[in-house]
């Protein structure tokens, strides 16, 4: 899966490719720690939570066989108000 990540503080976006969709939903990419590594990494010593980096687009290969998560599902641990402000989904 290719995900486009939005930094909600700077409004910068960047793609992150070749990460399985399930990792965005409930794995290493389901929080800010790994989502921020492709843009401007946050300064953290432990998990930095779910408050800054949203997946705003998900692109799946035609025949990859992955479950196609909705944008809301890929950001399910993020505050609904943040998701609504930047995607219109809550």
Sole residue written with tokens 């687009």:
57
pLDDT for the residue 42: 56
DSSP SS3 for 37: helix
pLDDT for the residue 40: 54
Residue 78: CA count within 13 A, CB half-sphere: 30
The whole model's pTM is what?
Answer: 0.85
Q: How many residues does the chain have?
A: 90
Q: How many CB atoms within 10 Å of residue 50?
A: 18
81 token code pair:
């108000």
DSSP SS3 for 35: helix
The predicted-structure confidence for 41-85, as pLDDT tens digits, reads as follows 556 556 778 999 999 999 998 767 789 999 999 999 999 999 999
β-pair partners for 81: none
Domain count, the chain: 1
The predicted-structure confidence for 6-20, as pLDDT tens digits, reads as follows 999 999 999 998 889
pLDDT for the residue 89: 76
Contact between 54 and 86 under an 8 Å Cβ cutoff? The reply is: yes
Cα angle 58, 43, 10; round to 5: 50
Residue 29's domain spans which residues? Answer: 2-87
């Amino acid at each position: 899966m290719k995900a486009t990540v939005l930094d909600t503080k700077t409004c910068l976006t960047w793609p992150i490719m070749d990460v399985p969709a399930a990792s965005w939903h409930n794995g290493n990419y389901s929080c800010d720690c790994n989502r921020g590594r492709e843009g401007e990494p946050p300064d953290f010593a432990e998990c930095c939570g779910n408050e800054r980096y949203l997946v705003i687009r998900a692109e799946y290969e035609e025949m990859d066989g992955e479950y196609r998560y909705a944008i809301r599902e890929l950001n399910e641990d993020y505050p609904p108000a943040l998701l609504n402000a930047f995607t219109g989904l809550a």
